[in-house]
Amino acid sequence: MSNLPKTVLITGATSDFGIAFAQKFAAAGVQKISLHGRNAEKLAMLQKSLSCETELLLCDLSDKQAIDEVFAGLKNIDLLINNAGGALGLEKVYEAKPEDWERMLDANVSSLIRITRHILPDMVARRSGHVINISSVAGSWPYPGGHVYCASKAFATQFSLAMRSDLVGTNVRVTSIEPGLVETEFSLKRFKGDQEKAAAVYADTRPLKAEDIAETVFFAANMPEHANITRLEIMSTDQATGPFQIYRGA
């Protein structure tokens, strides 16, 4: 049975994931997609490429007031995809830059909860809706240099699970999607434009593609109303978790 939403809101819509989600839902026949981003030109380009009705939500997620102005009062959203966010840096925790942490926390944590808070009351009032949070395997499986990024994704996963506790009985669904290695601009952003370092992350292996994540998001969204995909972790077939590290030089 199909349960395609009529209206979808995607944050970080001009990222590789955001574009793949928008294209997937537009092609499936949703009526309207609200596209959030901070680059007006990129948003307009994406808007032109989509066949359905669209609405542009322009704002920088480090600006709380701007978030409130843009997202407060939005109504009739069937599916909110909290996709905005990313990683900055891969230095060890004692060498990392606090300003990178601040930006990650703004995008991955603060704006996630703020935007969700704006959208949820109308979903609850309508007894209908679905929030899909794009978390990461990093939220469950820590790795060197991950520190604040891993912690922010653990937050996204746990926030999703805790939201379900509050929303049970409201008919509003919540899903945490937790992708592993996906070839996108994620690494270019993490390494601040260093093409060589970013390419090395995906070299000689078969990373997932943004379209694979769009499939999983679509799967969760399209399940019948009585079924809530709570968590969905997806990795490349060529990726797995590693053993514990044991230091033997003591």
Instruction: Pick the closer one to ligand 8X3 by CB: 14 or 108.
Output: 108
The catalytically annotated residue of 94, 143, 149, 247 is: 149
Give residues 174-233 in contact with ligand 8X3 (rule: CB under 6 A): 180-181, 186
| DSSP assignments along 131-184, one per residue | EEEE--GGGTS--TT-HHHHHHHHHHHHHHHHHHHHHTTTTEEEEEEEE--B-S
Number of residues that bind ligand 8X3 (CB under 6 A): 6
Give residues 84-143 in contact with ligand 8X3 (rule: CB under 6 A): 136-138
Active site residue 247: no
CA 44 to chain centre: 21
Contacts of 189 (CB under 8 A, 6+ apart): 86, 87, 88
- Give the CA distances from residue 24 to residues 21, 52, 89, 215, in Å, rounded to whole numbers and listed in that order: 5, 11, 30, 8
| Least CB distance to ligand 8X3 at residue 146 (A) | 6
Of 108, 195, 199, 203, residue with least CA distance to 147: 108
By beta carbon distance, the residue nearest ligand 8X3 is: 136
CB 83 within 8 A of CB 11: yes
Q: Residue 130: phi, psi to the nearest 5?
A: -150, 130
Instruction: Pick the closer one to ligand 8X3 by CB: 5 or 85.
Output: 85
| Least CB distance to ligand 8X3 at residue 92 (A) | 16
CB 157 within 8 A of CB 135: yes
| Least CB distance to ligand 8X3 at residue 137 (A) | 5
Instruction: Pick the closer one to ligand 8X3 by CB: 17 or 71.
Output: 17
Residues in the chain: 250
Instruction: Pick the closer one to ligand 8X3 by CB: 105 or 137.
Output: 137
Q: Which residues are 7's β-sheet partners?
A: 32
Instruction: Pick the closer one to ligand 8X3 by CB: 129 or 146.
Output: 146
Interface characters, 36-75, with ligand 8X3 (x: CB under 6 A): ----------------------------------------
| Least CB distance to ligand 8X3 at residue 136 (A) | 3
| Least CB distance to ligand 8X3 at residue 115 (A) | 19
- Give the CA distances from residue 162 to residues 29, 121, 136, 174, in Å, rounded to whole numbers and listed in that order: 31, 16, 17, 10
Q: Which residues are catalytic?
A: 149
Binding site for ligand 8X3 (CB under 6 A): 136-138, 180-181, 186
